[in-house]
Amino acid sequence: MSVALCTLPTVKALMGIATSDDDARLGILIGAASDAIERDCDRLLAARNISEWRDGTGTPDIILPEWPLNSVSRVTIGTLDAITVVNNDPLATEAFARVTNTTLEVIILDGANAGTDSVTLGTKTIDTVIAEVNALGKGWAGNALSDYGGYRASTLRRAGRRECYGSFCYFQIPDEGEADYITEYDTGIIHLTGGLFPRGRQNIYIEYNAGYDPIPGTLQRICADLVADAYYAHQSAPNKKKEQLGDYMYELESRPGWSVTSKDIQHRLAPFKNQL
């Protein structure tokens, strides 16, 4: 979800709006414009905390997609088995579990208990997530390995469907953090000084804060200009749900969207676009 690239007072000041009559609509437009800009630039622009698994490169460098970097709090190579999940439902013959960005999902494919149950990760500990899996019944049983029960469940590595009917499947958390690395804050590069990031799939875990804080004035003005375009397009034709203004399309929906394709906007956004 995008973070607003300009504030409501800024937009109202630039548009010369003194009343609060349209604050709710302007707020929606600010969110939609910010989202459209970030999608077009193919990167996150406003500063925020990010936790992600990345592929090892076989080189000393990892190039993060988000920049500038404000801080890097954790860089980890490799994983540790943290939890097991098994299903012993006597009415089933197949069962699976998987980890997404936000949930631990458990799936029974057949029998009276067939279906998918999801346990959200959020800010929970692994112990809490395991307790919720065990509370599902239907033959589900989970267990935290070693002393990992107090770790954040959100650090579980994403994993596709793993078979777990009658036998345990395992899910992993990051290994201990690295200490010997250099951060190039402007470019978003992390350089390992003590070796290489081993090649692998989703084997490097990084926690960092990236993006602009404060938001550059150019981005604030682009966001405000898009909001103004959409706002006045609706004012000129309040009964229309869609209006074309040259290369710019605005649709009045609960989540408006922009293509951001005008030459002027593209020219002004060029320095902020992801070049990877």
> For the chain, what are the domain ranges?
8-44+214-272, 48-77+177-210, 79-174
pLDDT band for 246, please (50, 70, 90 cuts). Answer: very low
In this prediction, residue 262 carries a pLDDT of 87
The secondary structure of the chain in percent helix, strand, coil, rounded to multiples of 5, reads 25, 35, 40
Q: 32-50 burial string, b = 16+ CB within 10 Å, else e?
A: bbbbbbbebbebbbbbbeb
Q: How much is the average pLDDT of 223-230? A: 93
Q: How much is the average pLDDT of 60-65? A: 94
pLDDT band for 261, please (50, 70, 90 cuts). Answer: confident
Using left for φ > 0, alpha for ψ between -120 and 50, and beta otherwise, residue 138 falls in left
Inter-axis angle of helices 23-41 and 8-15, nearest 10: 100
In this prediction, residue 65 carries a pLDDT of 87
Cβ atoms 74, 205 nearer than 8 A: yes
Mean pLDDT (the chain) is 91
Whole-model pTM over 0.75: yes
Tell me the C-alpha distance between 219 and 211, whole Å.
12
Q: 134-147 burial string, b = 16+ CB within 10 Å, else e?
A: eebebbbebebbee
| Nearest in space to 265 (alpha carbons), one of 33, 50, 45 | 33
pLDDT band for 55, please (50, 70, 90 cuts). Answer: very high
**Beta-strand pair 69-77/115-120:** unpaired
In this prediction, residue 233 carries a pLDDT of 80
pLDDT band for 33, please (50, 70, 90 cuts). Answer: very high
pLDDT band for 241, please (50, 70, 90 cuts). Answer: low
Per-residue pLDDT tens for 78-90?
A: 999 999 999 999 9
Tell me the C-alpha distance between 68 and 134, whole Å.
42
Least confident range from 32-36, 130-134, 251-255: namely: 251-255
| Nearest in space to 80 (alpha carbons), one of 173, 169, 157, 152 | 173
C-alpha neighbours within 13 Å on the C-beta side of residue 143: 10
